[in-house]
Amino acid sequence: MSTIEIPKDGLEGLKQNWRSDAMSGFLVFLLALPLSLGIARASEFPPAMGVLTAMVGGLLVSFFAGSRLTIKGPAAGLITICAGAVTELGGGTQGWQLALGVIVVASILQIFLGFLKLGSLSDFFPHSAVHGMLAAIGLIIFSKQIHVLLGIDPALLKGMEPLELFQMIPYSISHEDIRVTFVGVISLIIIFGMPMLKFPLAKRIPAPMVVLLVTIPMALVMDFKHTEPAFDMVKIGDFWGTVGLNADFSAINTWVFWKYVLMFLFVNSLESLLTVKAIDGLDPYKRISNPNKDLVAVGLGNGIASLLGGLPMISEVARSSANITFGGRTRWSNFFHGFFLLVAMIAFIPVIEMIPNTALAALLISVGYRLASPNEFFKTYKIGSEQLVIFVTTIIVTVATDLLVGVGAGIAMKFFFHILNGAPLRSLFKARYELYETPSEYHVKVKDAAIFSNLIGYKKLFKQFDPGRKVFINFEDARIVDHSMMESLHHLEEEYHHHGGTIVVQGFDNFTAFSNHPFATRKFDPDAKSRLEIKLSPRQMELRSFAEANDYTFYPQRIRSQQKYKDFPIQRGHQIRFEENILEKYLEAGRISVSDVTLTEGARSDSRDTHITLVLVTETDLLIPDFALEPEGLLTKFSELGGNKDIDFKDHPDFSKKYFLRGSNEDRIRQFFREDIIQFLENREEMHIECHRNKLLFYRKRDLLDNGEILYTEKFAEDFLELIVSKQQVTTSP
């Protein structure tokens, strides 16, 4: 099992993991190529310069990065800044070269930030304001790319602000190029339709590459190259002749130059640092990245790429989360992604120039939609209505002005809410607490307010803790604890537990949460206890009846889940952050727990939540090897190519055909799966079974189970457990 041994780094890591990393790097390459072209084109850069940036990010930056699984390359979040810099600095080739000078200077400052260990400054910016900024960028991307998808001449759009571009949409629809629009609409159907397909392999195939496989032949059949204007097709030209020292610093004494230096530095660094933190949460090996080292590496990559003509790069969230999903294990997957891009630019430029720009516009529209989807508004509202106000304020101001002003407005709104809800002015920027310690414990009593603007102070405190001790954090003397602090506390608990420590959070009995979200802001309220109230949903009422009928104890509350499912294979590339509707009872051989969990795939704007019912058996005296068993299919065959070995049994071909079985200790697994267990599994419906440290996890499907399905899964688990008990009793009997 991949969770047992942490992959080696460096050349030893290459030798150990080259198959899985090369496979993941290739699949990420398929995702990165069209996106890099589209992002560069939307940024007013030559399209191939986006590929150049991704090549530098893979072939060079991977060796210096402080993170193992992030993919470095151009990002949609920087499109607005890049395009604005090129336009305001003169447009065309001149604007591009002057913008390169801006990026070089920003990259030098970025390297200094990393050396000064200022990576933690990202904690100062409230998440709702940052997400609002990204949502605004998504809307701006849509406002530009919808016209490209409709086949409108880009010259008509030059110099227009986002609000003007939105106003122009009816004109563009009435003057659309029907053939170009048809290709664009087909691209959108593929992009948004593929995730809806039920078979698992569809989730492993990059939708952008499917778009190219469909739209390039369409453009060839309709002869776009000769029947459509040149602006409707990707143009690479002499890529290798264009690569060179392109940066121009002649505008360095202007306000526009330094305005964009600040914007690049702020957004680029913030996006990279937030992605590194998010991807650490998805790393199945729970490795902790060095954000300062990663900031230096990204700055180095930005400097080299921009000197040669490329866009700025970041640790890109969609490609990084895809890297984990595809089975990437070390930094070499990022290297391989860059290597395959290099091969493409050496051998396949003529093929790349067959891509219609409407297809790239569709890809960028989908990226913009992810950033500003209705789900982003809903997720923010679930954390608290005040978070939604901050989120929307940031969006409106950003679209109407620019990014820095928009984020500033969001931060100001956050301060307004905190002061309104009782945060003392003296604690806005200073973490006020009392700390005393014993040889085995730390006791922290939080004073006044624990909020985003003083979070850095608390993080410095948390870094002092020895993981071997027990930590008590008491909030009874606080007046407000905000969303940023609650989420940071969650990450601290996960990290501290991972290193063998224990954290106990106390003092929230007299607080009222702004919503039922576990990370919601909490405000001191002396009457909170008397108003404690739980409203059950229809599903919870059904589960309560089920619990009463089957001798379960029922806990409907939604809670954070740190250790319960730690290191189970189901968490590979995912996070189980919350669980609710917990049913528990004791069997003769152990404790059985049924719960609805939220399985989060991807990170930040690229995250997707799946709600699934799990059955967990713990507190047994059984000795069971770690393994993962799942129904065999195309996806598992694909997994074998990445280095996951299927343990087959020659004497049981039906079982070997039905299930994909893997684990690190093959001999012990073969001893465990004896005749009676194999026959049991052959004769029942397919089930996912995982074992880690003698705990067994069962689930039927990646969805919630109804009462009948829960009963079946529970009986399946009991019968399976009974088989193991009887087997081990026979083995140990005299």
Convert the pLDDT of each residue in 447-494 to its tens digit. 999 999 999 899 889 888 887 788 999 999 999 999 989 988 887 887
What is the rounded distance in angstroms from the CA atom of residue 699 to the CA atom of residue 688? 5
What is the rounded distance in angstroms from the CA atom of residue 518 to the CA atom of residue 92? 49
Asked if pLDDT for residue 732 goes beyond 50, the answer is no
| Better-predicted residue by pLDDT, 124 or 13 | 13
Strands 522-524 and 553-555: unpaired
Determine the pLDDT at residue 528: 66
| pLDDT tier, 107 (very low <50, low <70, confident <90, very high otherwise) | very high
Segment 530-554, tens digit of pLDDT: 555 567 888 999 999 999 999 899 9
What is the rounded distance in angstroms from the CA atom of residue 410 to the CA atom of residue 390? 5
Residues 6+ positions from 206 with CB-CB distance below 8 Å: 27, 30, 31, 322
pLDDT (average), residues 308-334: 92
| pLDDT tier, 637 (very low <50, low <70, confident <90, very high otherwise) | low
The amino acid present at 390, given as its one-letter code, is I
Q: Could you give the 3-state DSSP secondary structure of residue 421?
A: coil
**Alpha carbon of 569 to those of 357, 575, 590, 626, 697: distances in Å?**
40, 11, 21, 10, 10
CATH for 427-531?
3.30.750.24
Quick one: DSSP state of residue 107?
A: H
Asked if pLDDT for residue 205 goes beyond 90, the answer is no
Segment 377-407, tens digit of pLDDT: 998 998 899 999 999 999 999 999 888 899 9
Question: What is the per-residue DSSP string for 309-361?
Answer: TPPP-EEEHHHHHHHHHTT--STHHHHHHHHHHHHHHHH-HHHHTT-BHHHHH
How many beta carbons lie within 10 A of that of residue 729, not counting itself?
A: 9
The token duo for 140 is 């701006």
Task: List, in sequence order, every beta strand (DSSP E) within 569-694.
Answer: 574-586, 591-601, 608-618, 627-631, 659-662, 688-692
Quick one: DSSP state of residue 480?
A: E
The token duo for 666 is 């093959």
Q: Could you give the 3-state DSSP secondary structure of residue 625?
A: coil
Determine the pLDDT at residue 488: 86
- Asked whether 214 and 362 are in contact (CB, 8 A), the reply is no
Closest of 514, 469, 520, 478 to residue 496, by C-alpha: 469
Question: How far is C-alpha 466 from the chain's CA centre?
Answer: 29
Out of 133-142, 439-448, 604-613, least confident range: 604-613
Residues 6+ positions from 180 with CB-CB distance below 8 Å: 149, 150, 151, 224, 228, 232, 356, 358
Q: What is the dihedral of CA 378, 614, 509, 386, to 10 degrees?
A: -10
Asked if pLDDT for residue 304 goes beyond 60, the answer is yes
Asked if pLDDT for residue 3 goes beyond 50, the answer is no
Vertex 597, ends 591 and 600: CA angle to 5°?
Answer: 140
Q: How far apart are the first and last CA of the chain?
A: 33
pLDDT (average), residues 685-697: 92
Residues 6+ positions from 731 with CB-CB distance below 8 Å: none
How many beta carbons lie within 10 A of that of residue 531, not counting itself?
A: 8
Segment 497-532, tens digit of pLDDT: 767 778 888 998 889 888 878 889 999 988 766 555
The DSSP bridge partners found for residue 445 are: 434, 474
Residues 6+ positions from 479 with CB-CB distance below 8 Å: 421, 422, 423, 424, 448, 449, 523, 524
What is the rounded distance in angstroms from the CA atom of residue 155 to the CA atom of residue 145? 13
Question: How far is C-alpha 449 from the chain's CA centre?
Answer: 29
Question: How far is C-alpha 654 from the chain's CA centre?
Answer: 38
Asked if pLDDT for residue 182 goes beyond 50, the answer is yes
Average pLDDT, the chain: 89
Q: For the chain, percent helix, then strand, then coil, each to nearest 5?
A: 55, 15, 30
Asked if pLDDT for residue 573 goes beyond 90, the answer is no
What is the rounded distance in angstroms from the CA atom of residue 41 to the CA atom of residue 323? 24
Determine the pLDDT at residue 87: 94
Asked if pLDDT for residue 72 goes beyond 90, the answer is yes
Q: Could you give the 3-state DSSP secondary structure of residue 202?
A: helix
Query: Taking each helix axis from N to C terminus, what angle separates 291-308 and 92-115, rounded to the nearest 10 degrees?
Result: 160
**Alpha carbon of 402 to those of 127, 131, 513, 727: distances in Å?**
18, 15, 33, 68
What is the rounded distance in angstroms from the CA atom of residue 337 to the CA atom of residue 661? 29
- Tell me how far apart the 2 most distant CA atoms of the chain are, in Å: 89
- Asked whether 37 and 51 are in contact (CB, 8 A), the reply is yes
Asked if pLDDT for residue 158 goes beyond 90, the answer is no
Strands 441-450 and 470-481: parallel
Residues of the chain with CATH 3.30.750.24: 427-531
Determine the pLDDT at residue 574: 77
Determine the pLDDT at residue 255: 94
- Asked whether 84 and 99 are in contact (CB, 8 A), the reply is no
Determine the pLDDT at residue 391: 95
Percent of the chain with pLDDT over 70: 94
What is the rounded distance in angstroms from the CA atom of residue 95 to the CA atom of residue 98? 5
Give φ, ψ of 443 to 5 degrees.
-125, 120
